[in-house]
Amino acid sequence: MGNAELVAMMLADGRLPTGGHTQSGGLEPAVRAGLGADGKQLADVANYARDRLRTTTRVEAAVAVVTRHLTLCGTKVAPGDEKPPDTAEPIGATGTGSPSRAEWLSPTPPSREAWPENPSRSPRLDEPPTQRGWLGVVEGAWAARVPSQVLRGVSRRQGRLLLRLARRVWPGVSAYLPNDGEIARPVVLGVVGAVTGLSAEQVARTVAYDDAQTVISASLKLLPVDPADAATWLAGLHDDIERLVKDVAPLTHIDEIPADGAPLIDVFAHHHAIERMRLFHA
């Protein structure tokens, strides 16, 4: 399974073959709309990344954290027991293959009372029956908080790439997610976090850092930015990242996922989707 800290670093590496290099975190359409125009007020890039951390990224990090929690609650063995999470059999599983997308989405999520408050203990075999449908419900909750069809599509395509990689590197994810279809990236990342032993804080920090570094890295290709300045902006976002981690790491229930939005980012995404000439996919 490897060292959890190294896994977190690997997931946050922009060179990981999951399509991260094709993303600007919405910075490219923001630049088209005037952000950093004519090389002036380039520090607006950091402010843009900070606004994302407080809104859209906060939602994604919360979804990943809750997904991690539900994945752990759906295994017969908790982390620290004699059987590692990546080999633990899901409760109610009838085979070792991946669930179909229909099976993954079908069951009704349990009530709040059915979820164990302490995710470190193993749930009873009759509580809850299966976690597979819950993850589909988490994705539904995520979709309800991402009103832009364009951004939902981008996340699901990235999720598909991450799942393809994770099935090779951490085969345990196949017990929880279907091999077919496109699944939101934070849901896939939450499952990967559970399978590889990442803490809730590590999962949230990975999501937040990845989003911030995506924006800052894209600025080097879109604007006349000194790389040293870009690194300074990213370092300046560390406190904002840690505030996000503190806010979302304790979350365990679907209805606790925040619904913070950034309508202008949604508008930018829709404009960008129909641009004939663009450097980044989104």
**Other C-beta atoms lying within 10 Å of the C-beta of residue 144:** 10
The verdict on whether omega for the bond into residue 107 sits within 30 degrees of 0, i.e. cis, is no
**For the chain, how far is it from start to end, CA to CA, in angstroms?**
32
pTM comes to 0.79
Q: What share of the chain is helix, strand, coil (3-state, %, to 5)?
A: 60, 0, 40
* Burial classification of residue 179, based on how many CB atoms lie within 10 Å of its CB (0-12 exposed, 13-18 middle, 19 or more buried): middle
Q: Which CATH architecture has domain 4-273?
A: Orthogonal Bundle (1.10)
* Domain edges within the chain: 4-273
Query: 190, 42 in Cβ contact below 8 A?
Result: no
Query: Is residue 173 packed enough to be buried (19+ CB in 10 Å), middle (13-18) or exposed (0-12)?
Result: buried
- Taking only the tens of pLDDT, the chain with its 282 residues reads 568 888 888 888 878 887 777 778 888 888 887 787 766 678 889 999 999 999 999 999 999 999 999 999 874 323 333 233 333 344 333 344 555 544 444 444 433 343 334 333 323 223 333 444 677 888 999 999 998 888 898 899 899 999 999 999 999 898 888 876 789 999 999 999 999 999 999 999 999 999 999 999 999 988 899 999 999 999 999 999 999 999 999 999 999 999 998 888 888 877 777 777 776 766
- Written as six digits, the tokens of 156 are 């699901």
Q: Output phi, psi for 258, to 5 deg.
A: -65, 165
